[in-house]
Copies of this chain bind each other. A is one copy, B any other.
Amino acid sequence: MNKREVQASVKDERLVQKRRDQMIKGAVALFKQKGFHRTTTREIAKAAGFSIGTLYEYIRTKEDVLYLVCDSIYDHVSERLQQDLALKKGTLDSLKLGIANFFQVMDEMQAEVLVMYQEVKSLSKDALPYVLKKEMEMVGMFENLLSRCVENGELHLSKKQVAMIAHNIFVQGQMWGFRRWALRKLFTLEEYIELQTELLLSGISAEVSATGTVPKSE
Contact = CB atoms under 8 A, between A and B. Distances in A.
A76 interface: no
Number of copies: 4
Main secondary structure of the interface of A (DSSP, over half): helix
Nearest to A189: B217
Given A181-B132, A182-B136, A214 B189 contact: no
Contacts of A183: 167
B205 A201 contact: yes
Interface string A195-218: 111111111111111111111111
Contact of A212 (B97, B187, B215): B215
A55 interface: no
A3 interface: no
A96 B214 contact: yes
A75 interface: no
A216 B195 CA distance: 9
Interface string A33-56: 001011000000000000000000
B155 A213 contact: no
Contacts of A212: 194, 198, 215
A35 B194 CA distance: 36
A157 B136 CA distance: 33
B199 A209 contact: no
Given A96-B214, A190-B216, A214-B156, A171 B179 contact: yes
Given A139-B182, A186-B163, A195 B217 contact: yes
7 contacts: A96-B215, A160-B217, A164-B192, A168-B168, A201-B203, A202-B208, A206-B210
